[in-house]
């Protein structure tokens, strides 16, 4: 394994993120804090407890997952699209580094960014809302698994995008609606039977449900199913990345 090459890519991507701390960290933290103020304080005071958990605390895992999904996808997509757009991707392809080593560098950096941001938001949430984490090990496991899966998904979007407009289609038109409709601010069990069945086709439901279970021990879907869906999405993303690099699709003229 070319550890020097992997570390070089990782450090470069992480360094670029730290050079723009205002946009990378401050903006997401302020946005999430506003969610806590509006939904937690203003609306949460009028909402009844869900599964024995106060509404303000109930939305903490959903808001964390919203940030992790968005940041993982956005960072990974931009990280690989920028070399394609600038033409420097050919230096990576011609370097003595395997495709999977390059993926580790880019995806590892994007995952690290989203996990750092998630921990910062978790600390920020504690300022606004008292909450508990019943299964901290599983919470970290879901956090790592989700950040890796959606960093890979963002990596795929970055590889397949030809323009800046296409780069924004995934985060804006796909991920954000799926996250809001995936139980970030409510329990899926609160929906009528028909819409609950429809919602279960949304893969984000399983991510949020499993993550919420690690906090409070309650979930809309069995934790084993949530974990299986998350692992399946990770494997599928890996297969797509392997196929792109093995064929050179969207990488070579």
pLDDT, one tens digit per residue, over 197-253 is: 888 888 888 888 888 899 988 888 888 888 888 888 888 888 888 888 777 676 665
Enter the tokens of residue 93.
């392809």
Q: What is the pTM of this model?
A: 0.84
Number of compact structural domains in the chain = 1
Specify if 186 maps to a domain: yes
User: Which pLDDT score, from 0 to 100, does residue 45 have?
Assistant: 63
What would the mean pLDDT of 28-56 be, rounded to a whole number?
Answer: 73
What is the torsional sign of CA 133, 200, 75, 237?
positive
Specify if 72 maps to a domain: yes
The terminus-to-terminus CA distance of the chain in angstroms comes to 28
Specify if 210 maps to a domain: yes
CB burial class (10 A; 0-12, 13-18, 19+) of residue 112? middle
- Residues 183 and 190: beta-carbon distance below 8 Å: no
User: Helix or strand or coil: residue 113?
Assistant: helix
Domain that holds residue 217: 3-247
Specify if 127 maps to a domain: yes
Specify if 138 maps to a domain: yes
pLDDT tier at 6 (50, 70, 90 boundaries)? Answer: confident
Crossing angle between the packed helical segments 203-216 and 60-86, to the nearest 10 degrees = 130
Specify if 253 maps to a domain: no
């Amino acid at each position: 394994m070319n550890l020097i090459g992997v570390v070089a890519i990782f450090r470069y991507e992480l360094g670029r993120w730290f050079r723009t701390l205002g946009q990378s960290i401050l903006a997401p933290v302020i946005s999430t804090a506003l969610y806590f103020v509006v939904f937690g304080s203003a609306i949460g005071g009028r909402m009844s407890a869900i599964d024995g958990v106060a509404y303000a605390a109930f939305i903490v895992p959903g808001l964390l997952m919203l940030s992790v999904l968005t940041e993982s996808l956005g960072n990974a997509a931009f990280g690989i699209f920028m070399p394609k757009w600038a033409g420097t991707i050919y230096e990576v392809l011609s370097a003595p580094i395997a495709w999977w080593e390059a993926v580790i560098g880019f995806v590892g950096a994007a995952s690290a960014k989203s996990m750092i941001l998630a921990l910062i938001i978790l600390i920020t949430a504690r300022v606004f809302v008292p909450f508990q984490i019943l299964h901290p090990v599983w919470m970290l496991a879901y956090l790592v698994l989700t950040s890796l899966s959606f960093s890979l998904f963002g990596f795929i979007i970055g590889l397949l995008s030809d323009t800046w407009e296409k780069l924004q289609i995934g985060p804006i038109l796909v991920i954000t609606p799926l996250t809001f409709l995936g139980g970030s601010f409510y329990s899926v069990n609160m929906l009528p039977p028909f819409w609950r069945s429809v919602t279960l086709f949304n893969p984000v439901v399983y991510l949020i449900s499993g993550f919420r279970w690690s906090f409070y021990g309650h979930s809309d879907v069995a934790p084993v199913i949530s974990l299986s869906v998350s692992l399946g999405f990770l494997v599928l993303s890996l297969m797509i990345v392997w196929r792109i690099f093995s064929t050179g699709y969207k990488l070579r003229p």
